[in-house]
């Protein structure tokens, strides 16, 4: 009973005070907005500052509406509103003080609070300062980053105060850089040390202007800082090129490994290998058509589906054509080239001659930001990891399973393997299915970095053969090393030689290399390799 005796008066007091507090907040807000609306053009900046420094939780909403030209005042009542939709004669509005939806009001009854570009820019900077006080750490970092190049003399003191009180190291660094840019723009030589090593475009812009200054000390220090930044940019550009080269190389290696297996075991030059890659890519597209709205699940399911589709097509090709042309490489080449044309035309007829786009799942979108000048796209990062995982699985199959043992035996000496009871025909079927299935996996990976079309495989068949020959026929490790190497070399050459000339240079390099090492980087071992 005693607790109840104390609680009842407290609740009564709260119920009496709350409306007064709400009324006071509305009155304060009305006064701030009235000052903003009625101040002359020269006094609006002060009114904006008053709203920002009021501590009112609605301040950001008011300033954003003002900047977007959506803050208005009703002529009949003087009530401030925010325009939500301004189409037609009647506009949809809400109360600026309470957020209460008012509905549609005739636009003739609304007097818009005018703003110019100078005030809009100032509000943008103030909103950035307000965002530095939000609870979300990511938003605070983004707000601090956006302030670089935007700080002026009015904001400098506030930014410095926020920097000193900031607990997040990234926020402090961004604010320190923003202040340094402002001070360099004002001719402060000592602030250049803060920008030394910065990779942001705003810092480079400020230093470029300082480097052309009439002050020799400022110009010299800025030029020196720019030189160090240019060196860092070159290093980051090289790292990004290497990353793109490795991702391209992983795709080449994944596309070539199936070819390396079949070529090494059966000695078959399969010109339809590119179309098996294409079937894997179309499997990814087909799964997304079966599972609309679920691109991530569809892509995961496309991995086994793409493997099975291409493996099944490979078995059909081996049983219907290749088994009758063993030991006749020229006829096999011509026959599989015909199969590639048939598969291309079949896709054009059944699906479409137009390219199809496979949607990238959300978890593969975006990039990993290393610094201002270097970011790694997630889709290529996943493809690189996927390629390495496939290679690891193939190595396990080749070294830890009976199929792998039989494949290695047939590769080294087919006649001796037959005499030991190994069914070479069965090994040929399983090997061709495995190689074709891996080509399908390559197609699933390629669907994430390029459009899927009937000619997809033709873009990779020549490169796949180059990887196989360069790495060593039938050697998985050689295929991986060759794919990564050629992809990186090609990516390094493209910026200054162009895409076509870069491929020609890579081809010439391989021709010269084969002259010295005809069996590639990692040649086969055994009696078959000696023949």
pLDDT tens track for 111-147: 888 888 888 877 877 777 777 777 788 888 888 888 8
Residue 229 has pLDDT above 80, yes or no: yes
* Residue bearing the bigger pLDDT, 477 or 345: 345
For 54-85, how does the pLDDT look when each residue is reduced to its tens digit (9 = 90+)? 777 788 888 888 888 888 888 888 888 888 88
pLDDT at 15: 44
Residue 465, pLDDT above cutoff 80:
yes
CB 364 within 8 A of CB 378: yes
Predicted confidence at residue 458, as pLDDT, reads: 84
Q: What is the mean pLDDT of residues 344-351?
A: 92
Q: What angle do CA 522, 527, 531 make, to 5 degrees?
A: 85
Q: What is the pLDDT of residues 296-312, one digit of tens each?
A: 899 999 999 999 999 99
Which residues have a Cβ under 8 Å from the Cβ of 213 and sit 6 or more positions away?
187, 219, 222
Q: Nearest 5°: CA angle at 120, between 128 and 27?
A: 80
For range 441-454, the mean pLDDT: 90
Task: Please compute the mean of the pLDDT values over residues 174-198 and round it to a whole number.
Answer: 87
Place 106 in a pLDDT band, splitting at 50, 70 and 90. confident
DSSP per residue over 290-316, as a string?
HSTT-HHHHHHHHHHHHHHHHHHHHHH
Tokens linked to 115: 């703003």
pLDDT reported for residue 119:
82
The residue ranking higher by pLDDT, 341 or 128, is 341
Q: pLDDT value at position 11?
A: 47
**Mean of all residue pLDDT scores within the chain:** 83
Model confidence at 501: pLDDT above 90: no
d(CA 322, CA 94): 74
Q: 3-state DSSP call for residue 358?
A: coil
pLDDT in tens, 206-224: 888 888 888 888 889 889 9
Q: What angle do CA 134, 136, 137 make, to 5 degrees?
A: 105
**So what's the pLDDT on residue 349?**
92
- Tell whether the model's pLDDT for residue 19 goes beyond 60: no
Using the predicted structure, report yes or no on whether residue 16 has a pLDDT greater than 50.
no
Whether 449 has a pLDDT exceeding 60, the answer reads: yes
Quick one: pLDDT at residue 285?
Answer: 93
Q: 184: which 2 tokens?
A: 């360099």
The answer to whether residue 524 scores a pLDDT higher than 70 is no
pLDDT at 17: 42
C-alpha angle 522-329-500 in degrees, rounded to nearest 5? 65
3 state SS of 196: coil
Question: pLDDT tens across 241-296, in order?
Answer: 889 888 888 888 888 888 888 776 677 788 898 899 999 999 999 999 999 888 88
More confident of the two residues 176 and 10: 176
What pLDDT was estimated at residue 3? 52
* Segment 392-442, tens digit of pLDDT: 998 898 888 888 788 777 777 777 877 888 887 888 888 888 889 999 999
In which band, very low, low, confident or very high, does the pLDDT at 5 lie, cut at 50, 70 and 90? low
Domains of the chain (ranges plus CATH)? 22-118 (2.30.30), 235-354+385-530 (1.10.3470)
What is the percent of the chain with per-residue pLDDT over 70, rounded to a whole number? 92
């Amino acid at each position: 009973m005693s607790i109840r005796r104390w609680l009842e008066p407290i609740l009564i007091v709260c119920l009496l005070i709350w409306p007064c507090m709400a009324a006071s907040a509305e009155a304060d807000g009305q006064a701030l907005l009235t000052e903003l609306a009625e101040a002359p053009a020269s006094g609006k900046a002060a009114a904006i500052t008053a709203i920002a420094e009021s501590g009112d939780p609605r301040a950001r909403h008011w300033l954003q509406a003002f900047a977007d030209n959506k803050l208005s005042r009703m002529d009949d009542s003087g009530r401030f509103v925010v325009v939500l939709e301004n189409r037609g004669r009647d506009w949809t509005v809400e109360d600026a003080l309470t957020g209460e939806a008012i509905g549609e009001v005739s636009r003739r009854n609304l007097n818009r609070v005018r703003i110019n570009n100078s005030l809009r820019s100032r509000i943008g900077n103030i909103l950035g300062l307000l965002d530095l006080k939000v609870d979300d750490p990511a938003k605070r970092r983004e707000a601090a980053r956006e302030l670089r190049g935007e700080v002026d003399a009015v904001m400098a003191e506030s930014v410095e105060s926020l920097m000193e009180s900031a607990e997040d190291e990234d926020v402090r660094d961004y604010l320190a850089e923003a202040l340094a840019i402002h001070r360099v723009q004002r001719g402060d030589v000592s602030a250049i040390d803060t920008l030394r090593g910065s990779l942001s475009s705003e810092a480079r812009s400020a230093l470029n202007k300082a480097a052309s200054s009439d002050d020799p000390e400022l110009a010299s220090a800025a030029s020196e800082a720019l030189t160090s930044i240019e060196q860092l940019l070159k290093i980051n550009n090289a790292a990004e090129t290497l990353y793109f080269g490795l991702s391209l190389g992983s795709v080449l290696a994944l596309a070539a490994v199936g070819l390396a297996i079949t070529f090494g075991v059966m000695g078959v030059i399969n010109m339809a290998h590119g179309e098996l890659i294409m079937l894997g890519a179309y499997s990814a597209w087909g799964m997304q058509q079966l599972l609309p709205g679920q691109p991530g699940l569809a892509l995961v399911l496309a991995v086994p589906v793409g493997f099975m589709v291409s493996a099944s097509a490979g078995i059909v090709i081996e049983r219907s054509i290749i088994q009758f042309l063993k030991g006749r490489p020229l006829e096999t080449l011509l026959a599989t080239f015909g199969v590639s044309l048939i598969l291309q035309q079949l896709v054009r007829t059944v699906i479409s001659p137009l390219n199809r786009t496979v949607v990238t799942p959300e978890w593969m979108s975006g990039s990993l930001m290393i610094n201002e000048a270097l970011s790694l796209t997630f889709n290529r990062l996943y493809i690189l990891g996927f390629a390495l995982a496939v290679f690891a699985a193939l190595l396990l199959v080749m070294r830890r399973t009976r199929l792998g043992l039989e494949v290695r035996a047939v590769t080294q000496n087919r006649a001796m393997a037959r005499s030991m009871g190994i069914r070479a025909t069965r090994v040929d079927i399983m090997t061709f299915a495995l190689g074709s299935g891996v080509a399908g996996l390559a197609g699933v990976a390629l669907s994430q970095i390029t459009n899927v079309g009937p000619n997809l495989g033709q873009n990779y068949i020549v490169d796949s053969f180059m990887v196989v020959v360069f790495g060593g026929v039938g050697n998985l490790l050689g295929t991986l090393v060759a794919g990564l190497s050629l992809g990186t070399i090609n990516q390094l050459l493209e910026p200054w030689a162009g895409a076509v000339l870069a491929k020609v240079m890579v081809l010439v390099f391989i021709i010269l290399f084969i002259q010295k090492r005809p069996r590639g980087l990692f040649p086969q071992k055994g009696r078959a390799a000696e023949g």
